[in-house]
Structure 1
Amino acid sequence: MSTLTVIDHPLVKHKLTILRDVATPFPTFRRVLRETTWLLAYETTRHLRVESGTVETPLEEMTAHSLPNPAPCLISILRAGNGLVDGLMDVMPEAAVGHLGLVRNPKTLLPEEYYCKLPSEIEKRQVILADPMLATGGSTIAAIDRLREKGVRNLVFLSLLAAPEGVEALQSAHPDVPIFTGALDRELNEKGYILPGLGDAGDRIYGTE
């Protein structure tokens, strides 16, 4: 699992405990997810390139560094990915944002695209793809396939939780894509949910069932 980084931080562990708790109400879940994303963003954005320039401080001119143009891009796998992207936008407001909608076909069990809206010059941007749960890996692989079709090469994936099965599937399909996650859980159940997990992230973000 050389491309996998588990962001092992005390505050991430603490906040994941709140998110896992079945008694946590959805307004609290939403807030804590956003706070957790701020912490995960530190390691996830470490790969970003910067460009040198000059800035005038109150005392002198100096060489400084800024994000390049076009700005990095955050891609949400709808709908739960919005929970991570909202937090990422807080720490990186310069970033453009795109959305990919994928749904599992009930007959083939394969992901199918129902929505795609991406920023211009996506092929030139540094991209962070976000989805709270890396379970089977099917949706993530399909999303990366789509981004590759658009010319994206500089890409990392961020999840809140991951299952070993999903990590293995993603690494097999896209071995060059770094994976960042808050925790590597035990396994998937027969329905494809992560154990111990935290349930359906989208439902818990938006208060739906």
Structure 2
Amino acid sequence: MDVKIVEHPLAAERLTAMRDERSDSPRFRAALHELTMMLVYEATRDVAVTEYEISTPVAPAKGYRLGNPPVLVPVLRAGLGMADAAQAMIPDASMGFVGLARDEETHEPYAYMESLPDDLAGRHVIVLDPMVATGGSLLRCCEMIAARGCTDIDLISVLCAPDGIQKLDASGIAMTMTTAAIDPILNDKAYIVPGLGDAGDRQFGAYRRF
């Protein structure tokens, strides 16, 4: 699996705001929104475009639009905080949703909601999930998408752990990853270290120490 790490001062600044335990929910959400826009920009650098003719106030010119607008799939609940930013960058994108939760004892994911097109053959799908720890939840989502015929999956995540990347890579599903950072380890509760805590809790007002 191809992994692209976005190393940019502005991305690093937003990631720092998300990591900082002093950041309240509004600051965390704002940083996530802005960082998502940067990650989407990098993830879509090589997407196909089509040309068409326009007229400026001065003269005719060539215009460009996405040849195959993607389907955005935020993984609930934490991925909700990335959805508006991604759609702001790609207004023509459609949206699907996958709701996954992690069993806190087994750390295995289970689906509680699935809202995807029945046929994704020939479509470009961008999956949005702020954190990839064990990779189980994101892999389950990608399996659902691949089962509908999609062979063009891009993953966008703020933060990853090597365990999760290895699990996704070993799945055999063709996908690429764009992320702001890869942290070294997971703790005994399968949280990323140093990480940023629980991205869903921090967006929506809950707070836990790990």
Q: Do these two structures clear the TM 0.5 threshold for a shared fold by scoring above it?
A: yes
Are 2:2 and 1:3 aligned? yes
For each residue in 1:63-85, what CA deviation from the matched residue of structure 2 results, as whole angstroms up to 9, or x when unmatched?
Answer: 3221135x211101100011122
Query: In 1, distance between residues paired with 2:21 and 2:103?
Result: 28
Q: Name the residue aligned to 1:177.
A: 175
- The residue matched to 1:64 in structure 2 has which SS? strand
1:136-187 deviation line (CA, Å, top 9, x unaligned):
0000111000001111111110100000111111111146311110001111
Does structure 1 residue 128 correspond to structure 2 residue 134? no
Where structure 2 has 5 or more consecutive residues not aligned to the other structure, the ranges are: none
> Could you tell me how far 1:4 is from its partner in structure 2?
1.0
CA distance in 2 between partners of 1:91 and 1:106 (Å): 34
Superposition map of 1:52-63 within 5 A: 52-63=51-62
Distance 1:108 1:35, change over 3 A: closer
Give the corresponding residue for 1:40. 39
What SS does structure 1 have at the residue aligned with 2:67? Answer: coil
Q: Which residue is equivalent to 1:199? A: 197
Work out whether 1:138 is the aligned partner of 2:132. Answer: no
Residue type at the aligned position of 2:99: G
Choose 188-197 or 116-125, whichever is displaced more: 116-125
* Alignment partners' CA distance in 1, 2:13 and 2:105: 39
In the aligned structure 2, how far is the partner of 1:96 from the partner of 1:120? 14
The SS at the match of 2:96 is strand
Identical residues among aligned pairs (%)? 38
Asked whether the 8 Å contact 2:79–2:128 carries over to 1, the reply is yes
Amino acid at match of 1:10: P
CA distance in 1, matches of 2:195, 2:16: 10
Could you report, residue by residue, the CA deviation over 1:26-84 in whole angstroms, capped at 9, with x for unpaired residues?
Answer: 11111111111111121111132211222222233333221135x21110110001112
Distance across 2 between alignment mates of 1:107 and 1:83: 26
Taking the aligned partners of 1:32 and 1:105, their CA distance within structure 2 comes to 28
Q: Taking structure 1 as the reference length, what is the TM-score of the superposition?
A: 0.92
Given residue 114 of structure 1, which amino acid in structure 2 is its aligned partner?
Answer: Y
Which 5+ residue runs of structure 1 have no aligned equivalent? none
Tell me the number of residue pairs that the alignment of Structure 1 and Structure 2 aligns: 207
Report the aligned-residue RMSD: 1.8
